[in-house]
Amino acid sequence: MNLKKAFMSLVVVVAVGAMAFATGAKETVTNKSEQKLKFGFSIMIGDNPYFVAVKKGFEDRAKELGIEAVILDAKYDAQTQYGQVENFIASRMAAICIAPVDHKSLETVVAKAKKAGIVVVSEAQGISNADANIIVNDYDYGVANGKNVVRWINEKLGGEAQVLIISQDNVEAVVQRANGMVDTIKKFSPKAIIVARQTGDTPEAAMRITEGALTANPGINVIACVNDSSALGAYEAVKARVKDTSKFYVGGADKTAEAVAKMKEPGSFFRATIDIDPYGTGKKCVDVMLDYVKTGVKNETIYFEMVPVWQEDLK
């Protein structure tokens, strides 16, 4: 009888031990699969109002999903950005998002990331070998912007105007945006004269360009900018130099918070922008990256929706 009890006790101990081992193994696998993901994001230029909103959306969505977000500013330097992506690879990020300074120069390091099993998503402008491109069609974006300009010229200025284009021609992919603007103005407002097209993608650069252009061509009454960042600088320069701005047009694109605030100012001549939902785009990037990490890449190209926004829309 005692021998039987001892044998039964031994069976129970072995069974409990086996269950504990199995449970422990299961917990180890679960913990490993649930380790906190890390997503890297190299932004073209961190202080551009558009990218400020994209960054906020990216951060908020990552936090909401329990993902660690590491966001770096390339400061418009292609070599710096290349190094940032290499560091992301070395840090074994689960996924990397890039708003490229020079998309061609990044193809090699993107290939390295993919070989290491890291998901790569490009934002704003495309990279040919990225797993996904969440981007704007720059020429179409320029056409949409140009249509805002044309509407003002034809409705408020009788179809005649002297136009300054402030472009972002220092970024290869964005050259097409100004091309779309120019083509649209020439097609639908043929009497309008484009007096200059200059690169000024920061408020400070756009301010300097506008000051010089107004000195050389005091008749300028339309300043069309490829983004709100340059439009903000142009706006301040015009406000300081032009007495009668009742029919003056400054317009941009991206619908940044700063641009909306200027459009709402009393007597504002910041007439129009275009909403491409930068905050929502930042969130979308995280969602796509997480989906690809979990279910595999799908090689998508996702284009921004473009919605014109006028002062009257905000009142």
Structural domains for the chain: 38-136+278-305 (3.40.50.2300), 138-275 (3.40.50.2300)
Average of per-residue pLDDT values in the chain:
90
pLDDT attached to residue 96:
98
How many residues are given for the chain? 315
* Low-confidence residues in the chain, pLDDT < 50: 1-33
Instruction: Report d(CA 267, CA 273) in Å as an integer.
Output: 17
pLDDT attached to residue 35:
73
pLDDT attached to residue 40:
98
Instruction: Report d(CA 66, CA 108) in Å as an integer.
Output: 30
Task: Render pLDDT for 174-187 as a digit per residue (tens, 0 to 9).
Answer: 999 999 999 999 99
pLDDT attached to residue 315:
75
Among candidate residues 221, 276, 275, the one with its CA nearest the CA of residue 243: 221
pLDDT attached to residue 287:
98
| Torsion over CA: 18, 20, 23, 25 (sign) | negative
pLDDT attached to residue 15:
40
pLDDT attached to residue 158:
98
pLDDT attached to residue 1:
45
